[in-house]
Structure formats: structure tokens, C-alpha cells
Amino acid sequence: MPKTKDFVHLHLHTDYSLLKGAIQLKPLVKQLAELEMGACAITDYANMYGAISFYTVMKQNGIHPILGYEAMVTFGSRHDRDPSLKAGERPYYHLVLLAKDFEGYKNLTYMASKAYTEGLHHRPRIDVELLAENSTGLIGLSSGLKGAVGHYLLQNDTETALKNTLMFRDIFGEDNFFLEIQEHGVPDEQTIRSGLVELSRSSGVPFVATNDAHYLSQSDSKAH
């Protein structure tokens, strides 16, 4: 791994995030090299279809591959098909999962499979129970506005946001869960910024700066 603390992408969607991401692997590698980034993560939506291709291309070009995916986590049971929700709740929340080692990678593939074979209801979902049972070797990132922490901060429900922050910290273990801080020019991100800072202070959970990348350059925005 790079010894410096230079920015690298830990939240990035390739074109394996079907109909959402537009980043192809070979152009990605070229841009990473031009920007002198020594590592990069893949965090496609609810799937790991691109993991092996990503790993191979990155290794061939001397860039450290970080394998992950962006999970859809329900706070109910992944087996539940009841569409009813309490006011202010979502049917699932985004959560970025990154593998630290081979055991973490195996846990990722297991949960990604279970999301489709057991949790598929509009979206392939995992639940908190499955996550807690398979969290070894994983790092969790809170995701953005669609993550549980960001969602409840946007609802001005700081108590529930803190509760979820502490829950994920306990699931992943000390130093394995991070609050994502992002800047995409979206007003809601500015709205929750002070809440995120206060959450970090009160919970002891540190920040990680991410850019929820779906395409390579600003000029790709219109095409995306």
C-alpha cells in the first residue's frame, strides 16, 4: 500500500453498476496512473461482478486493488417482503463494504450472493444480522445521503443517526468503520456537514473523504 496519505478512491462505481456507473476499467487505470494514485477501490451497487477483472487490471498496472461493494442494508429481515414502513424510514440503506484481506473478500462474496438468493425484493438486500455474522476482515463506510447515518441527519434525527453510527462501529470493530464526508455540490451534503462533525466528536468514529465516482471526468456528466 502507498505510504503517503494521498487521496485515493474508496467509493467508485464501474459500469458493472448496471445503468448507474459509466467507468470502464482500462480508461480508469489510465486515469489513475496520470493522477499518480497508488490504489483504488471498486464499490459497485449490490454486486461484485467486476471484482476479478478489476483486481487483474489493477495488478497488471501496478495499482493496489481494494475490493468492495455498496450494500443495500435493511434494518428488518432480508427475508421480509412486507412493503410497509414507518414514517421517515427507507426500505434499505446504502453501506460501503471494503475487504481488508482474503477472509473479508470471502465474506463480501457470501453476502452479495445471499442478497440475491435470500434478500431480493426490488433490490438485492442484506440485513444487519447477516452483516454482523460476516463482518470479519471488512471495513465499513457510512455512504452518503442514502446511508443510514446521512439519511437520519437529513431528517434532523441526530439520536437515530448516532445510534446507527455506534451500531456499525460495534459490528465492524474499533477503527474499522468510518463516516464518509463528501462534496458533490449537493445542498443536502452541506446541510448534514455539521451533524457529521458532531457525530464524529461524540462517537469517536473518524472521517474518510470520498468522491462517489460514477464517471471519470466532469465532461462525462451530460453523457452519464
* pLDDT tens digits for range 65-124: 999 999 999 999 999 988 788 888 999 999 999 999 999 999 999 999 999 999 999 999
Record the pTM: 0.95
The residue that leads in pLDDT, 19 or 131, is: 131
pLDDT at 79: 94
Give the distance, in angstroms, between the CA of residue 88 and the centroid of all CA atoms in the same chain.
Answer: 22
Burial class of residue 4 in the structure, from the number of CB atoms within 10 Å of its CB (0-12 exposed, 13-18 middle, 19+ buried): exposed
pLDDT at 224: 84
Rounded average pLDDT over 50-60: 97
Rounded average pLDDT over 145-174: 96
pLDDT at 223: 84
Query: Rounded mean pLDDT of the chain?
Result: 94
Supply the DSSP string of 189-204, one letter for each residue: HHHHHHHHHHHHHHH-
- Greatest Cα pair distance, the chain, in angstroms, is 49
Strand partners, 32: none
Segment (H or E) for 51: helix 51-60
Rounded average pLDDT over 6-12: 93
pLDDT at 82: 82
pLDDT at 222: 87
* pLDDT tens digits for range 36-47: 999 999 999 999
Rounded average pLDDT over 148-174: 96
Angle value at C-alpha 212, between 24 and 95, nearest 5 degrees: 110
pLDDT at 84: 80
Strand partners, 123: 121
4 pLDDT more than 70: no
- Measured CA to CA, the distance from residue 16 to residue 40 in angstroms comes to 16
pLDDT at 2: 52
Cβ(96)–Cβ(143) below 8 Å: yes
pLDDT at 145: 95
